A and B are shown apart, each in its own frame.
Chain A
Amino acid sequence: MNTKKVKWKKNNLVFHLMLLIPVIILFIYSYLPMFGIVMSFEKFSPNLGFLKSKWVGLDNFKTLLLLPDTFPAVRNTLIIAIIKIIGNLIVPIVFALMLNEVKVKWFKKTVQTITYLPYFLSWVILGGILIKFLSPGSAASAPGFFNNILVALHIIKEPIYFLGDNNYFRGTMIISDIWKGFGFNTIVYLAALTGIDPSLYEAAAVDGAGRWRQTWNITLPGIAPFIALMTILSIGSVLNAGFDQIFNLYSPAVYESGDIIDTLVYRLGLINQQYSLSAAVGLLKSIVSLILVLTGYKLADKYAGYKVF
C-alpha cells in the first residue's frame, strides 16, 4: 500500500511537469490579458496605462447604448450567425446522406477531396478569390465570372454587386460561409453513417421498406444523436458571425447590413482609438458568449452524455 502511494505521487509529479510549460504560456497570454477588462470601466489612455487611467464605472456601457452603430451591429450579428448555424447544420447532413448513396469509390473520394479543400484556405485567400469572382465590373474592368454566367443564363439582366449591395451582402456571407465549410463538416456525419449496423437495412428490406423509408426510419435515427450534439454545441456561436470573413469582404457601403459586433470592436479600438468603448463591447460579447457556450456544454452533457474535457 505504502509503495503504491509513493509511486502515485511520483506519477503526479511527472504530470505536473508535463503541464508546466502549457500552463505558464496560458497564464501569460490568456489569463493576464483578462485583467485588461478593467479598461472597459475606465477612460483608458495608453500613456497612463491600466492602473492610472481614470475610473468611470459604467459610463462606457451607457455610451454604447447611445452609439448609432451598436444596434445594427447586434442585429446583423444575430441574423448572419443564426442563419449560418442552421445552414451549416442542414447542408452537411443532406450532403453526407447523398454521398452515402454513392457506391463508386473513386467518385466519392474525388468529390470529398474537392469539397474539403475550401475549408483549408484562409478568408484572406477566399476573399481575394471572391472579390474578383463576384465582381460586378467597373469602368476599368469587366464583371467577374459569376455575374457573367448568371447574365449568360438569363437569370439576371444586370450584373449584381454581391459584396457592395445591402440587399445581397448578408446572403453572400451566409452562402459563401456554407460553401467553405460544408464539405469538411460532412466528416463527422459520414463517420456516424458508417457506424450504423448494416443488418438493420437488410431486415428492413426483407420487410419491404423502400430506400426512402430506410433513410427515414434507420439512417436518420442512427445519426440523430450526432445531429443533436452538433446543434447543441453550435449554440455557443450565436454571436460569432465570422470576423475573418466579413472583415475581408465588407466595405463602408455595406456597414448597414454587414457590420457585426467583432468588426465594430475592431474599428472602435484600432481605427477610432476608443479603446475603452471597444473593450466594453468586447466584454459584453464575451460574457453572453460564455453563458451560451456553457449552456450548450451543459445540455450536451445532460442529453448526449458528451463531456468536453
Chain B
Amino acid sequence: MKISTGRKIFNVINYLIIAIIGICCIVPIINLLAISFSNSTAIIGNRVGLWPVDITLSAYKYVIHSSKFWTSAIVTCKRVILGVPINLILVFLAAYPLSKSDLVFRTRKFYVAYFMIAMLFGGGLMPTYYVVAKTGLIDTIWALIIPGAVNIFNVILVMNFFRGIPIELEESAMLDGASQLRTLWSIYLPLSKPSIATITLFSFMGHWNSWFDGLIYANRPQNYPLQSYLQTLITSTTDALKDGDVKQIMLLTNINDTNMKAAQIFISIIPVMFIYLFLQKYFIKGLTLGSVKG
C-alpha cells in the first residue's frame, strides 16, 4: 500500500512531538546532573545548562565524606532489605485466599469488607502516630516497615493476577493431593513472575521514596531514612558549613549549596534507575494483567 503525503507529514510531526515530550521528561534530570558536576562559580554565574561547566568532582567528594548522608542511606538500605520481602510475603499470603471464589472460601466476603474498610478509611495522622508510639516502634527501623506492611492495592493487583490463572491447573494439583500452600508455592508462584516483579518494584519504590514516615516516626536525625534526610536538606536554606569538619570546609571552596544538594539527589536516584530499568520489561505485563481484566 502506498503511503500518502498527508500520512508522511503526520508521521514526521508525530515523531517530532513525541521526541520533544520525551526530552521534556529528561531535561530537568540532565540539568541536575550537569549542576552536580559543575564548579560553584559557574553555577552562580548562570552558565550551567545540560553540560557541566568547569567539571569538578568536589560535590561528590563532599558527599563521600558526609556522614549524615551515609547514615541515612544505611537506614534506607535496611528498610528495603527487611521491608520488601515482608511486603511480598504478606501480599501473596493475603492475595491467594482472596482470589478464591465465595463458594470455595465461604468467609471471603467478611475479609473483603475488612480489607476494603482498612483501605478506604484511616484514623489520620495523630492517632496513627499514637499507636505506633504505644507499640514501641518510634526510632526503630520497624516503624518504617510494619505499619505499612500490608499494601492493599498490591493485594488487589496480585489477587486479580491469580484469577487469570486457569482453574484447571489448581484442580489437577488438588487431585494429585497437593495442599493449598503447596499449590500456591508450586503452581501459582512460578506463573506469577510478572506480578512478583511488579510488586517488588512497587514495594522497593515505596520504601526507597518514603520520607514522611521517617520524619514523624524518627525523633533522632540519625534514624532518618535517606529521603527524610534529603527532605530536610532540600527545604533548609542554610549551607553545609554547619556540620563540616576541616576537610569538608576545604572542599567547600569548589562547591556550594546547589551542587552539593544536586550530587546527593543524583546519588539517591541511581538505585531507583537501576531497579526500574532491570524490572521494566516485567512490570508492564504484571500491571496490565493485574488491572485490566480479560
Contacts and interface: CB of A to CB of B under 8 A. Distances in A.
* Secondary structure of the B contact surface, majority rule: helix
Nearest to A91: B21
Interface string B15-44: 101110110111111011001000000011
Interface stretch (B188-196, B245-253, B284-292): B284-292
A26 interface: yes
Contacts of B15: 102, 104, 107
A8 interface: yes
Contacts of A265: 124-125
A37 B123 contact: yes
Interface residues of B, number: 97
A3 interface: no
A128 B11 contact: no
Nearest to A280: B124
Interface string A14-35: 1110110111011011111111
A29 B7 contact: no
A35 to B, nearest CB: 7
A36 interface: yes
A235 interface: no
* Secondary structure of the A contact surface, majority rule: helix
A191 B288 contact: yes
Interface in A112-152: 113-118, 120-122, 124-125, 127-133, 137, 140-145, 148
B170 to A, nearest CB: 11
Given A22-B90, A132-B35, A132-B262, A33 B123 contact: yes
B118 interface: yes
Interface string B74-91: 000000000000000010
Interface string A184-224: 00011001100000000000000000010000000000000
21 contacts: A11-B180, A19-B93, A21-B90, A25-B147, A26-B118, A29-B148, A33-B124, A34-B122, A37-B127, A95-B21, A115-B22, A128-B234, A132-B262, A137-B46, A145-B48, A179-B25, A188-B287, A192-B292, A286-B124, A290-B120, A290-B121
Interface of B: 7, 10-11, 14-15, 17-19, 21-22, 24-29, 31-32, 35, 43-46, 48-50, 90, 93-94, 96-98, 100, 104-107, 111-112, 114-118, 120-128, 130-132, 135, 146-150, 155-156, 159, 179-181, 205, 208-212, 216, 227, 230-231, 234-235, 258, 261-262, 265, 268-269, 272-273, 276-277, 280, 284, 287-288, 291-293
Given A35-B127, A104-B15, A248-B234, 10 more contacts: A11-B105, A18-B181, A25-B150, A33-B124, A98-B14, A111-B18, A124-B231, A142-B43, A266-B125, A283-B124
